[in-house]
Each structure stands twice: as structure tokens, then as C-alpha cells.
């Protein structure tokens, strides 16, 4: 794990490097959007609407990725949209992961009433239709970025909890956990140091998929008018808008869709490497 050779093994892995490059590119787009975007993403020009990629507008300005149904520059919206999408994608899966993993650990290792409470909560969560919950929460709290992250985390923590709990149930019976107890290690340390690293592999896989799911789920919420305001560019929102123009302007859907795909691939590659790295037997 982290320690000797971490950087070396990272550089030596083309998978990790490719993943890092993709994620860094998206991150750069999100952080430097005001510098990278050629136009104001809100600037409308109805005369230049639905221009295909590589075309010139009436005033002579060049639109690399074309324009949308209101004549806004697609590249600028894409670059600004990375902010919302990355924040929501990473934020929701990290928050859900943190809460879900801790609850799963506690439920699996401590058992008893803690386990009962957590599994009951998870059952309740699974029984409630997610979209109903999202509508109710966002209607009450309002559709801000933080609230969207909260709502998405609420929908996702159960997956982590269930996977971690079942992993812990098998790991805690291993002899090395008994050995750790026989060495007088405190329960909290056993959970975090001895059990957690051994159940982390599936968690990383879930988290990488959750990033993609969150980006798309944000699109769904924005589509229903529950997400960020329509004027704020987000990949999900762009995808939702593009639906009506699919037949006449394919790039409106294809380009944000491609951006989501690239992000997901990047996160997955990084996650794959991280998962292998956590298993010393694979000798990565």
C-alpha cells in the first residue's frame, strides 16, 4: 500500500497513467474553465443556433464544437459544465462512500443492535423509490449543488454498506483478526487497520461506477427541473436539452455524452489500479 514504491509503481503502470491523464484533463477543464472557454457559456445568439462542429458564426467567430439550440458555444458550456458534473460525481460518491463504508464496518464488526439498526435503515432506504425521495427533498430544500450531492449520497450509501458489511462478516472470522485481538489491538483499530483494507477492493469498484451514475443522475434531476438552474451548464443538463434535437443536431448529445464517458473511463482506470495496488498478492 501507500509507502515504498507507490510513485514508482504508479508511473510504471500505463493504466494508471492514462487514467490520471484523463482525470487531470477534466479537472483542468473544471478549474480553469474561465481561461479555457472561448465564449461566455450563457451568451445566446439565436442567429447562430444549432451550428455543427467546426463552423463559423455569422459574426466570423469560430465554434469548435458548434452551438446549441440557443446559439451558445458548446465548447464553453462543456468546459463550464465539467465543474458541476465533477463536483456532483465525485462529491456524491465520496460522501456516500464514506458514510456507507463506516456504517458497513460498524454493522459487520460490532453486530448486535448496531447491525440491526443499520440493516433496518438500509431496508427502509431501499424500499423508498429514490426519485420520490429526491423530488421531496429537493422540493423542500431547493435545487442547489450541495443538496443534489446530499440527495445522491442518500441514494447510494446503501450499496457500500451492504457490500462492506458482508465483506466484514467474512473477514472478521479470519484468524488474523483473532490474532490482532490477541495482541491487544483496540476494536476501532482492528476495524480501520486490519479489516478495512481487506474489504476495500469492491468499494473502489463501486465508487468508480458511482461517479458515472451520479453524473447521469444529476442529468436526470436537472431534466426534471430539480437540479441546478437550467442556465448553469452541466453535462447532464446539456444531455437532457439535446434530447429534442437528436435528429437534427446529433453533436448536442454526442459531445456531453462523450465527456461523461471519458471521465468515467479515467476514474475507472485509476480505480482499477488503486484496487490492484491494495492487494499485494497481485504484485502491482
Partner 1 sequence: MLEVEGLRTEIATEAGPLWAVDGVSFSLAAGEVMGLVGESGCGKSMTALSLMRLLPANARVTGAAVRLAGTDLLALPEAAMRALRGDRIAMIFQDPMAALNPVFTVGEQIAETLRHHRGLDSRTAWQQAERLLDRVGIAEADRRARSYPHEFSGGMRQRVMIAIAISCGPDLLIADEPTTALDVTVEQQILALLDELRRDSGTAILLITHNLALAGQHCDRIAVMYAGQIVEQGPADSLLAAPLHPYSQGLLAAMPRGPISEGRIAPIAGLPPVLFGPRQGCSFAPRCPHRFAPCETNPPGLVESGPGRTARCFLLEAGAR
Considering beta carbons, is residue 129 or 283 the nearer one to partner 1? 283
Considering beta carbons, is residue 1 or 32 the nearer one to partner 1? 1
How many CA atoms lie less than 13 Å away from 229 in the CB half-sphere? 3
For residue 259, give Cα distances in angstroms to 74, 101, 256, 284: 12, 29, 5, 29
Shortest distance (Å) from residue 198 CB to partner 1: 6
Contact 187, 195 (CB under 8 A): no
The rounded distance, in Å, linking the Cα atoms of 73 and 250 is 15
* Per-residue binder mask for partner 1 (CB under 8 A), 81-120, x = binder: ------------------------------x---------
Residue 192 in contact with partner 1, rule: CB under 8 A: no
The rounded distance, in Å, linking the Cα atoms of 209 and 138 is 24
The rounded distance, in Å, linking the Cα atoms of 216 and 83 is 14
Considering beta carbons, is residue 9 or 125 the nearer one to partner 1? 9
**Which span sits near partner 1 by CB under 8 A: 203-211, 227-235, 262-270, 276-284?**
276-284
Q: Which residues pair with 258 in a beta bridge?
A: none
The rounded distance, in Å, linking the Cα atoms of 265 and 97 is 19
Residue 172 in contact with partner 1, rule: CB under 8 A: no
Binder of partner 1 out of 90, 180, 226, 238 (CB under 8 A): 180
Binder of partner 1 out of 2, 8, 132, 175 (CB under 8 A): 175
The torsion angles phi and psi of 224, rounded to 5 degrees, stand at -80, 0
Binder of partner 1 out of 185, 205, 224, 262 (CB under 8 A): 185
For partner 1, the binding residues (CB under 8 A) are: 1, 4, 111, 174-176, 178-186, 193-194, 197-198, 278-281
Amino acid at each position: 500500500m501507500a509507502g515504498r514504491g507507490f510513485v514508482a509503481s504508479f508511473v510504471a503502470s500505463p493504466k494508471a497513467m492514462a487514467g490520471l491523464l484523463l482525470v487531470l484533463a477534466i479537472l483542468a477543464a473544471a478549474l480553469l474553465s474561465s481561461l479555457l472557454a472561448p465564449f461566455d457559456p450563457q451568451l445566446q445568439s439565436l442567429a447562430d443556433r444549432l451550428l455543427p462542429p467546426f463552423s463559423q458564426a455569422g459574426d466570423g467567430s469560430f465554434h469548435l464544437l458548434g452551438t446549441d439550440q440557443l446559439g451558445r458555444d458548446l465548447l464553453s458550456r462543456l468546459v463550464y459544465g465539467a465543474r458541476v458534473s465533477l463536483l456532483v460525481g465525485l462529491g456524491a460518491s465520496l460522501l456516500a462512500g464514506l458514510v456507507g463504508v463506516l456504517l458497513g464496518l460498524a454493522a459487520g464488526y460490532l453486530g448486535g443492535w448496531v447491525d440491526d439498526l443499520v440493516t433496518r435503515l438500509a431496508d427502509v432506504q431501499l424500499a423508498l423509490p429514490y426519485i420520490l425521495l429526491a423530488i421531496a427533498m429537493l422540493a423542500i430544500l431547493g435545487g442547489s449543488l450541495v443538496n443534489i450531492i446530499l440527495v445522491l449520497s442518500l441514494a447510494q450509501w446503501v450499496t457500500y454498506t451492504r457490500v462492506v458489511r458482508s465483506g466484514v462478516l467474512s473477514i472478521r472470522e479470519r484468524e488474523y483478526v483473532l490474532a490482532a485481538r490477541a495482541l491487544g489491538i483496540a476494536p476501532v483499530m482492528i476495524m480501520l487497520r486490519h479489516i478495512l483494507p481487506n474489504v476495500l477492493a469492491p468499494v473502489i469498484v463501486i465508487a468508480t461506477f458511482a461517479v458515472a451514475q451520479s453524473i447521469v443522475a444529476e442529468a436526470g434531476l436537472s431534466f426534471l427541473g430539480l437540479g441546478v438552474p437550467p442556465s448553469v451548464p452541466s453535462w447532464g443538463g446539456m444531455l437532457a436539452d439535446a434530447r429534442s434535437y437528436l435528429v437534427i443536431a446529433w453533436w448536442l448529445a454526442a459531445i456531453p455524452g462523450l465527456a461523461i464517458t471519458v471521465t468515467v473511463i479515467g476514474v475507472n482506470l485509476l480505480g482499477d489500479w488503486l484496487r490492484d495496488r491494495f492487494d499485494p498478492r497481485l504484485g502491482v
